[in-house]
Structure 1
């Protein structure tokens, strides 16, 4: 009985180790011509907070595996956005934005790519974990892409700020209110 248990244990760990070794390593670089904007809205007008791509890491080392045709899983595919890199166009809006996302306590917004399911040529559904102000939520959303030596990925991710336990700021005694829904609009150029 002990021998059978030992064999099963060895086989289990061997299979687990082999599955881990099937992940391929890749170094990628998000190019400076990429764009990422967080757009919000108030009951008066909308605002755009544009991210300065100069704040990104020069290179990212990711791992991926293709489980079946059209399904790719990722490890360590994390886009770390330093909150100092966002400019909303004016000092008061910048202050409100940084207060909203609690950038003093949480100076990074993390977007972790978990998996991609190809739909048709040039489109897919991406599954990501988004971490804002220390709260992480999983989201699935459509993306468009072109592949090559420099690939392009575009998409709009809609978020409810209350999912991240954020309270929208109110101005002028509550007459100006930020709406709960924001969008992250990205157009990334990625070099392999």
Structure 2
């Protein structure tokens, strides 16, 4: 049986991770190097939320993700990842209204930079007892590299991870970004009457199966 712990090496590969067994989680991965295949299932969701002086809005990413392979290396209580990247077409972001979709694509410079990239760099493993984590889940701190409109920023994201079945896991988390961090200006449609806030939140709720 695959343990949640064992697949921290993998699944976190997508943007998060965590594991389980009776022994301390950190010690399980010492000096371990592994490559894993993973699939983000259709039940997953990734969305962007924002606010304006008129209303709040949410934009969902309508994207099917292919099977991917990522490399994971253990370094003490940390896991380091290579190839654990989500690539999101800006055109797949649906805000529920054609005009808002157009404004969002223009804001994100979709013509010049058609994708958003979220790359998992590393994760800090919890030290709690594995048996408790198996039933209740665990909180993992991850470091991501986010690339929007050709500009990259490294950020920390807290992720809650839980084992669903021996080979399926759920990861949920979110982080706030500023469009200005990526050299972007918030949209101001209706001749500037509507003003969108610089701060937006990227949230994900991923169901991941691992081979």
Return the TM-score normalized by structure 1. Answer: 0.84
Structure 2 counterpart SS, 1:95: helix
Specify the alignment match of 2:153 in structure 1: 137
Alignment partner of 2:48 out of 35, 38, 43: 38
Alignment partner of 1:163 out of 181, 196, 199: 181
Alignment partner of 2:94 out of 87, 94, 106: 87
Q: Is the 8 A contact 1:34 1:53 kept in 2?
A: no
Q: CA deviation at 1:31?
A: 0.5
Alignment partner of 1:63 out of 71, 74, 81: 71
Alignment partner of 2:120 out of 113, 116, 119: 113
Structure 2 counterpart SS, 1:53: coil
Counterpart Cα distance in 2 of 1:172 and 1:85? 24
Q: Is the 8 A contact 1:71 1:118 kept in 2?
A: yes
Pairing 1:50–2:52 present: no
Bigger drift between 159-168 and 117-126 goes to 117-126
Q: Is the 8 A contact 2:103 2:189 kept in 1?
A: no
RMSD across aligned positions (CA):
1.5
Q: CA deviation at 1:173?
A: 3.0
CA deviation string 1:100-129 (max 9, x = no partner): 111111111000000011245410111000
Q: CA deviation at 1:171?
A: 2.2
Specify the alignment match of 1:75 in structure 2: 82
Larger Rg: 1
User: Larger relative CO (CA 8 A, sep 6+): 1 or 2?
Assistant: 2
CA deviation string 1:165-188 (max 9, x = no partner): 001111233221110100111000
Q: CA deviation at 1:46?
A: 1.0
Q: Is the 8 A contact 1:125 1:140 kept in 2?
A: yes
CA deviation string 1:60-88 (max 9, x = no partner): 110001111x3111001001111121110
Runs of 5+ consecutive residues of structure 2 not aligned to the other structure: 1-30
Alignment partner of 2:111 out of 104, 114, 127: 104
How many residues in Structure 1 have an aligned counterpart in Structure 2?
A: 169
